[in-house]
């Protein structure tokens, strides 16, 4: 049985990324807000666009802490951010949804999201994803590394130097693989399951524009930053 060992460098890399991931949390916790009050579809849409706008800003700050990211070609950095922003947002939403909450809170949160204004057809795939992320019981290092692996996806549109991105992503995947083996020794397939979620995440993100324009209200307004990042 091969002995899996995280090197000193990998330990340092993981600490930098996890600290940055935890530092760059959403300022106002949306779950708390949703648990407090029931909002109209319009108010919920505004809340979503506000949360998503601040999450994109948080994502940009987070990527500056990924060792090697700032050494990539500048335009490739933008292409990676634009290409991963929606997936990072759904990954963060899944982590918010799967957080341990006092009993009954998750059910209230689920109900509020179901009734938020999102159209019926997207609710099942979205919650299937949230629950499949929750079942993994990821530790924070795994969450941070999974988001990093998602950002460093080489085949995003307009990425010129895919090899450079691939090298960075492989560095992160190697740490994540070892971490999974050490954190979940009884589950040799855990790492594979984790990466499988990224496929589910990409599929869910394909629905994203549809989910927004079909929100049960008229005249959907977006912030300039979201117009940049979302294809709306
Ligand atoms: C595009 O369609 C949708 C639909 C639902 C969500 C969603 N899933 C959630 C799961 C847990 C808590 C919040 C959640 N949200 C919205 C939100 O505020 N998401 C934030 C985005 C930035 C990162 C933190 C979460 C809520 C939904 C209820 C109405 C108000 C917005 C969503 O988040 C991408 C996108």
CA of 158 to the centre of ligand 1 (A): 28
CB of 116 closer than 6 A to ligand 1? Answer: yes
- Identify the residue whose C-alpha is closest to ligand 1 atom 22: 52
Residues 6+ apart with CB under 8 A from 138: 95, 146, 194
- Report pLDDT for 203: 93
Q: What is the mean pLDDT of residues 94-109?
A: 92
CB of 113 closer than 6 A to ligand 1? Answer: yes
CB of 30 closer than 6 A to ligand 1? Answer: yes
Q: Which atom of ligand 1 is nearest to the CA of 90?
A: 34
Q: How many CB atoms lie within 10 A of CB 165?
A: 25
pTM reported for the whole predicted model: 0.95
Q: Which atom of ligand 1 is nearest to the CA of 92?
A: 23
Both tokens of residue 33?
């807000």
Long-range contacts of 27-35 (CB under 8 A, 24+ apart): 27/54, 29/96, 30/96, 31/96, 31/97, 31/99, 31/101, 31/109, 34/109, 34/112, 34/113, 35/105, 35/108, 35/109, 35/112
**pLDDT tens figures, 158-212:** 999 999 999 999 999 999 999 999 999 999 999 999 999 999 999 999 999 999 9
CA of 136 to the centre of ligand 1 (A): 20
- Identify the residue whose C-alpha is closest to ligand 1 atom 31: 48
Looking at the predicted complex, does its ipTM rise above 0.95?
Answer: yes
* 137, 178 contact by CB (below 8 A): no
Angle among Cα 99, 102, 104 to the nearest 5 degrees reads 100
Top mutation candidate among 56, 59, 93 for ligand 1, by most atoms within 8 Å of CB? 93
């Amino acid at each position: 049985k091969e002995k899996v060992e995280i090197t000193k460098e990998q330990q340092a890399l993981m600490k930098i990324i996890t600290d940055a991931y935890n530092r760059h949390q959403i300022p106002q916790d949306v779950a708390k807000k949703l648990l407090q009050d029931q909002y109209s579809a319009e108010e919920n849409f505004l809340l979503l666009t506000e949360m998503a706008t601040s999450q994109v800003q948080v994502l940009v700050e987070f990527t500056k802490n990924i060792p090697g990211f700032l050494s990539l070609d500048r335009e490739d950095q933008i292409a990676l951010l634009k290409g991963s922003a929606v997936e990072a947002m759904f990954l963060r939403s899944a982590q918010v949804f799967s957080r341990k909450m006092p009993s009954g809170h998750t059910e209230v949160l689920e109900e509020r999201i179901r009734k938020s204004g999102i159209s019926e057809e997207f609710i099942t795939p979205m919650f299937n994803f949230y629950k499949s992320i929750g079942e993994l019981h990821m530790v924070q290092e795994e969450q941070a590394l999974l988001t990093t692996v998602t950002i460093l996806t080489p085949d995003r549109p307009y990425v010129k130097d895919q090899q450079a991105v691939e090298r960075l992503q492989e560095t992160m995947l190697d740490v994540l693989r070892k971490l999974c083996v050490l954190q979940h020794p009884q589950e040799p397939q855990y790492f594979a399951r984790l990466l499988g979620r990224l496929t589910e995440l990409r599929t869910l993100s394909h629905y994203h524009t549809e989910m927004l324009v079909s929100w049960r209200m008229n005249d959907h307004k977006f912030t300039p930053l979201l117009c940049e990042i979302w294809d709306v």
